[in-house]
Chains A and B, each alone.
Chain A
Amino acid sequence: MEGVAIDTVWVVVAGCLVLFMQAGFAMLEVGLSRMKNAGAVMAKVLVNMCLAFAVFWAIGFAIAFGDGGDFLGSTGWFIELGNPDGVASLAYSAVDENTKWFFQATFAAVTLAIVWGSMLDRVKFGAYAPFAIVFVGLIYPIVVHWQWGGGWLFQHGYQDFAGSGIVHLCGATAAFAGAMVVGPRIGKFRDGRPVPIPGHSMPLAILGVLILWVGWQGFNAGSWLAAVGADLGRVIVVTNLSGVFGVIGATIVARLLLGTLDIGMMGNGAIAGLGAIAGPCAFVAPWAGGVIGLVAGSVMVLVVLGVDRIRVDDPIGAVAGHGGGGIVGVLAPGFLTTPSSAELLGGREGLVYGGGATQLGWQLVALGSIAAFTFVTAWATFAAIDRVIGLRATEDAELQGLDIVEHGMYGYPERFIEVPGATPDDALPELAGAPAGAATRAWEGAS
């Protein structure tokens, strides 16, 4: 019983860390958006987090983890309405069903947050709810069911501990489809060349990266869904080494290719390194975490440049960070899974341990099927939303800013409009709290 309590406390704390990643996304995205859209970014992150929880509660969890076939589950609707014994796919964890749901719901919210990152500054607010219902209710849970729900990928030994493929690649693929459907921001490409539209606050963006980094500890180490007997320490070490080398790799490659010590690339290097280690973190040795991070951070820079080249506008680099990192993280276990962890968690040891190419083959199958399924379904959803209610904000809203047009007020009002009392000025005594009818001022009569 004591063990269950310890497990439960850890999974709740880990879930809270993953929940805190929403603050990371909020800061990262607002930092890389323009001032006129700052309030809209905050509203978007908050509302989408709520939508993700609501939809995952009603239907997402049942499809993802419920008992059923190889492709989707069908028990556990609204959590408690399902089988009172809980879903079979998570029976390996001793914590109760509600705790499992909370932890998994935070993952659904992270995946949805990744999607909208690529579409910053130009999406109509009304598009969020319909997409969240389809994505968190159907697309993401189906991908989850293939692996964590005990579906066909799991049965073939696909290795993805905390979701390099299931969360990061899935989210980034939908982000890529969305950015293509919604189109680039006005002025992003001139004569076919990308124009820099810098975000308004690098301090907020990097604060966001660091908050995400902290949250990632719960994301990866919490995915044991247990504390007693779980190798939390190694997952933590592997995770941080990958994030560290992701930044180092991105910094060096950006310096070599672009000639500058690009701040955004450094931050996205962390995202790539951490996204790449989510899947392999329980399967690989600590040194391998460093290697995976270095590769992911380096690849990420190339993906940013590639996305720009095909004229897709991804303001925060979600496709490169989560997608580039996610691909590295899906493939890495094929090379680097240790024999002991394969024995413990399923699948086969990696190529460098003499395990042969079978595991890498299934990692490739997972990569292709997650990317293809997510791209097609997300594209279709975005296209349908665009056709029916419109995905893109009006040109007027985009130029004036989503803040004032969609939300009626700026995120930073004093930057754009006169606000009573905003400017320190002794010439407005009635606003400074002076007694009514005060006829004289302190400085009156002085020469």
Chain B
Amino acid sequence: MKKIEAFIRHEALEGIHNRLAAMGLPSMSVTEVKGSGRQKGFTESYRGARTTIFLRPKLKLEMVVDDVDLERAIDTILEESHTGQPGDGKIFILEVQEAIRVRTGERGPVVLEAHDH
């Protein structure tokens, strides 16, 4: 079981979610975050006072998948997030020790199985 943590552009989310849901992997959490990276900040001007904001808004997409689903999930995020410009984001893959479904108490990869939507 692996956790995917992807920092993506806002525009990429809909395509990612549509395709992952279609392949039976709709379970994800999305958080609005601010971050800095290779993409430059922007200059803000308010009544003549200026400042440079280095933090830009991004989305953080988190999902835990079974090993068998990992590569196609990564491919989907990559394809939908890619524009070729700085600021496309990054994807991190982390090992997950256990997965437990709260409603039933089930444990292990069964919790993460792809399913019909």
Contacts and interface: CB of A to CB of B under 8 A. Distances in A.
A390 interface: no
A257 B48 contact: yes
B44 interface: yes
A198 interface: yes
Contacts of B47: 196, 262, 264-265, 304, 308, 317
Question: Interface residue tally of chain B, by bracket?
Answer: under 10
Most chain B beta-carbon contacts within 10 A, residue among A195, A260, A305? A260
Contacts of B50: 196
A194 B46 CA distance: 10
Nearest to A257: B48
A196 B115 contact: no
Contacts of B49: 193-196, 308
A419 to B, nearest CB: 19
B75 to A, nearest CB: 27
B29 interface: no
A259 B49 CA distance: 12
A258 interface: yes
A403 to B, nearest CB: 22
A264 B46 contact: yes
B45 A260 contact: yes
Contacts of B48: 194, 254, 257-258, 262, 265, 301, 304-305, 308
B85 interface: no
Interface string A213-247: 00000000000000000000000000000000000
A78 B44 CA distance: 51
A304 B45 CA distance: 14
A447 interface: yes
B97 interface: no
Contacts of A304: 47-48
A304 B49 CA distance: 10
Interface string A171-212: 000000000000000000000011111100000000000000
B69 to A, nearest CB: 18
B31 interface: no
A254 B46 CA distance: 11
Interface of A: 193-198, 254, 257-260, 262, 264-265, 301, 304-305, 308, 317, 447
What 3 pairs between A and B have smallest CB-CB spacing?
A: A196-B46, A194-B49, A196-B49
Interface of B: 44-51, 115
Given A196-B50, A308-B49, 9 more contacts: A195-B49, A195-B51, A196-B44, A198-B46, A259-B45, A264-B46, A264-B47, A304-B47, A308-B48
